[in-house]
Structure 1
Amino acid sequence: MNHLHAPFNNVKARRAVLMAMDQEDYMRAIVGSDDNLWKRLPGFFTPGTPLYTEEGGEILKGPRNLDAAKKLLAESGYNGEPVVCVVAQDLAFVKAQGDVTHDLLKKLGMNVDFIATDWGTVGARRAQKTPPGQGGWNMFHSWHAGADCVNPSSYTAVRANGAGAWFGWPESKEVEDQVTAWFDAPTLDAEKAAIARLNKAALDHVVFAPTGFFQNYQAWRSNVTGIAPAPLPFFWGVSKS
């Protein structure tokens, strides 16, 4: 979500989206009916890693409350302005997310300008800070590799340092204070405490909307050996008999 322009320059509008969205809708749109391939993600860090936390994640848990989300959206001052949602059609898991969001925003009562395009265009357009009606945007969909989301050192999207932040340019002193606290932490317990506070602050501010955690299967022939368990395919050490 773009924090520079209405409606998502108001945290109430951003929180309304979190309150209404159901991560299961997104995950099933991406991976189908295989429950082994997805998890709910009430936070920003990779499940199964040392710093994973659900602190502050209540807004993404439990039954969805569309009426409460609509009320919060109205409190934000939203008055039917177009919401420019730029969605790549040439990446299946991005398109799936965009389709779910399109339906969600309409249920919230938002006026959606759905821009169906390709990933190259999304990549160029998301860098624009101009108003949505002048070549900018309000929403786009993406993904992050789990290996990038284990801590803030490589996780640019969880930062909230304004003009220096990832696309959407969130700005929150509370988030950045906890990033600093993590870098300064002398022990693993101190790291975990800082990340828990960071997760809560990032959800309170809604730096972006996490749609869930999903995985893919990998397959190789029975005569191939040396495949290492890893977050992405590595080809060294591999041999074929």
Structure 2
Amino acid sequence: MIRTLTGRTGRITTLSLAAFLGSTALALAAGKIDVAIIGEPPTLDPMMSTADVVSIVTQHVYETLYTFDENWDVAPLLAESLPFISEDGKTYKIPLREGITFHDGSAMDSADVVAALKRWTTVAARGKSVAGMIDSIEAEGPSVVVIKLNKPYSPLLSLLAFSNSAAIVVPQEILGEKLSATVGTGPYKLIEHAPDRYIQLGKFDGFKSRSEPSSGSAGARAQTLDEIRFVPVPDANTRVEGLISGQFAFADSLPTEAFGRLSESASVEPVLLRPFGWPLFAFNLKKGIGTNLGIRQAVQAALSPDDMLFAAFGDDKYFVVDAALFPEQFPWNNEEGKELYAQANPEKAKEILAKAGYKGEPLRILTSRQYEFHFKMAEVAKMNLEAAGFTVQLDVVEWATLIERRGNPDLWDIYITHSPFLPEPTLTNLYVENSPIGWVSANRDAVYARLTGESDPVARQAAFAELQKLVYEEVPFYKVGGFNAVMGKKKDLSGVTLTPWPFFWNAKLGN
């Protein structure tokens, strides 16, 4: 559920905070806010990344044909309405809004949308996942786009609505292997990007909002703020200090230890998004020792999620030890495979390792301290795995470096990440073979085809239960548990719609 709050790299260290405040801070005024994010986004092209930090920034600049309302239902954004879908489920006719202008002053039309969607199917992880099912994307006049599939694909609209690995609409003139400019249709445009220091967005005077009431990220988008500046702050404690000092109006991804301190502040307050998501260990199924199923099963047998979650979050109000890949609030919740979760059995892991032919090769775990809870889980996992006979190598890097390295299967065996709970299972790219982990399996292929080909919700839920069972049997990744996210904001910042990717249209500072 999306909720609305009323009353979510410059590499800044704790030692350099005072200097930063004095030398680069913009005064917080009613029309300007600074937002602390976890690091420098690896790109400002949201097609090219599934990183949350990219989505948080770029959703203000770019828009998609569809988006999600407060109930996580698909709603039109740049599309005029939901599409007209043929009876066989293979043709989508999408009417476009008219009078939409890009930041460069040019008008959006169907040619721009067609070109952008074609690029999305070739460069974006989620676009690639559906590319093989698309026969054509064509314009039908200046204000209609027609997508023809070779078989029904029920998650298509959710993919087109997601701001992560997003099917953004941009002028066809800037398209290429890389975008030649940062130009969208969103309420804010890029003013200045000083890498590792800030990303400054300003109000786009030509923006055309929808007229429906705001609901989640759907409906009206008011440009209440004149300027939003996203400041990369890799150190979590520095984000806390900057929020308390007044430098930041909002700070993302804060440590649970800060909750009490923020609660006692006269000027700021903590924000708890519950449930938020799930931390996970993703295996490299392309190269290295992780290609051995026995190795992965031994890791699964050795790990203690109770210990990892307690080390990461400290209090069970911030986490839950749960095998299900979706919490009970979601229709996808099921208990398949739970007997293989939370085994915490080093002796069993040793037996599996012996049968797998393990010879002491380093198990390379790639993690980052920018999400401090990742690192804390990695430390406990190292102890669990060493007790089971593994040789463990922790590679601790900055988050942008982790994103880069996970694309090279020669450099890692496990990387630690997390995902928010998403409205549609197929939005999690871990299930598709072109993800960084590369899960290829005949069983997975058959079940996934049913999950995406069925339109009946009950049949789709049954297919996902089978997919969850396969996750525990084939171990492409390991769900550690569920957790709630701590963020922080100034008490007089209102109108922020709280989601895993917080956005700041409709927000205002002061009375």
TM-score range relative to shorter protein: 0.7 to 0.9
8 Å CA contact retained: 2:284, 2:413? yes
More helix by share: 1
The C-alpha deviation readout for 1:82-120, integer Å capped at 9, x for no partner, is: 222222233312211221222122111111222222222
Which amino acid counterpart does residue 117 of structure 1 have in structure 2?
A: V
In 1, the alpha carbon distance for the partners of 2:405 and 2:507 equals 40
3-state SS of 2:299 partner? helix
Q: Which residue of 2 aligns with 1:176?
A: 445
8 Å CA contact retained: 2:304, 2:381? no
Task: Note the 1:75-90 alignment, pairs <5 A.
Answer: 75-90=355-370
Q: Which residue of 2 aligns with 1:15?
A: 297
In 2, the alpha carbon distance for the partners of 1:15 and 1:204 equals 8
Q: Which residue of 2 aligns with 1:167?
A: 436
The C-alpha deviation readout for 1:189-212, integer Å capped at 9, x for no partner, is: 111100100110122111111111
Moved more, 16-25 or 112-121: 112-121
Q: Which residue of 2 aligns with 1:152?
A: 425
Aligned-pair RMSD on alpha carbons? Answer: 2.1
Q: Which residue of 2 aligns with 1:99?
A: 379
Q: Which residue of 1 aligns with 2:308?
A: 26
Call closer, same or farther: CA 1:137–1:187 in 2, change over 3 Å.
Answer: same
In 2, the alpha carbon distance for the partners of 1:232 and 1:5 equals 32
3-state SS of 1:209 partner? strand
The C-alpha deviation readout for 1:4-25, integer Å capped at 9, x for no partner, is: 3342211121111111212122
In 1, the alpha carbon distance for the partners of 2:468 and 2:355 equals 25
Call closer, same or farther: CA 1:22–1:222 in 2, change over 3 Å.
Answer: same
In 2, the alpha carbon distance for the partners of 1:67 and 1:19 equals 9
Q: Which residue of 2 aligns with 1:133?
A: none
8 Å CA contact retained: 2:430, 2:437? no
Which amino acid counterpart does residue 158 of structure 1 have in structure 2?
A: Y
Which amino acid counterpart does residue 381 of structure 2 have in structure 1?
A: T
Task: Note the 1:101-116 alignment, pairs <5 A.
Answer: 101-116=381-396
Which amino acid counterpart does residue 202 of structure 1 have in structure 2?
A: V
1:142 maps to 2:142: no
Q: Which residue of 1 aligns with 2:335?
A: 54
Call closer, same or farther: CA 1:152–1:68 in 2, change over 3 Å.
Answer: same
The C-alpha deviation readout for 1:117-156, integer Å capped at 9, x for no partner, is: 22222222211133xxxxx211211111223xx4333110
More strand by share: 2
Q: In structure 2, which of residues 315, 318, 329 is the aligned counterpart of residue 37 of structure 1?
A: 318
Q: Which residue of 2 aligns with 1:197?
A: 466
Task: Note the 1:227-238 alignment, pairs <5 A.
Answer: 227-228=496-497, 230-238=499-507
1:3 maps to 2:276: no
Q: Cα offset for 1:228? A: 4.1
The C-alpha deviation readout for 1:48-79, integer Å capped at 9, x for no partner, is: 21112221121104x53221111011111101
Q: Which residue of 1 aligns with 2:75?
A: none
In 2, the alpha carbon distance for the partners of 1:203 and 1:192 equals 17
8 Å CA contact retained: 1:88, 1:94? yes
Q: Cα offset for 1:220? A: 4.6
In 2, the alpha carbon distance for the partners of 1:219 and 1:119 equals 21
Q: Which residue of 1 aligns with 2:348?
A: 68
8 Å CA contact retained: 2:320, 2:483? yes
Which amino acid counterpart does residue 157 of structure 1 have in structure 2?
A: L
The C-alpha deviation readout for 1:167-219, integer Å capped at 9, x for no partner, is: 22221121222221111223211111001001101221111111111112345
Call closer, same or farther: CA 1:67–1:89 in 2, change over 3 Å.
Answer: same
In 1, the alpha carbon distance for the partners of 2:347 and 2:456 equals 43
Call closer, same or farther: CA 1:8–1:190 in 2, change over 3 Å.
Answer: same
3-state SS of 1:217 partner? strand
Aligned positions, number: 228
In 1, the alpha carbon distance for the partners of 2:377 and 2:501 equals 22
Over 6 Å off, 4+ runs: none
Call closer, same or farther: CA 1:116–1:157 in 2, change over 3 Å.
Answer: same
Which amino acid counterpart does residue 414 of structure 2 have in structure 1?
A: M
Q: Which residue of 1 aligns with 2:266?
A: none
Q: In structure 2, which of residues 466, 469, 486 is the aligned counterpart of residue 217 of structure 1?
A: 486
Which amino acid counterpart does residue 296 of structure 2 have in structure 1?
A: R
Q: Which runs of 5+ in 2 are unaligned?
A: 1-282
Q: Cα offset for 1:38? A: 0.9
Which amino acid counterpart does residue 185 of structure 1 have in structure 2?
A: E
Q: Scaled by the length of structure 2, what TM-score is found?
A: 0.42
Which amino acid counterpart does residue 384 of structure 2 have in structure 1?
A: L
Which amino acid counterpart does residue 326 of structure 2 have in structure 1?
A: F
Q: Scaled by the length of structure 1, what TM-score is found?
A: 0.84
8 Å CA contact retained: 1:66, 1:108? yes
Which amino acid counterpart does residue 215 of structure 1 have in structure 2?
A: N
Q: Which residue of 1 aligns with 2:457?
A: 188
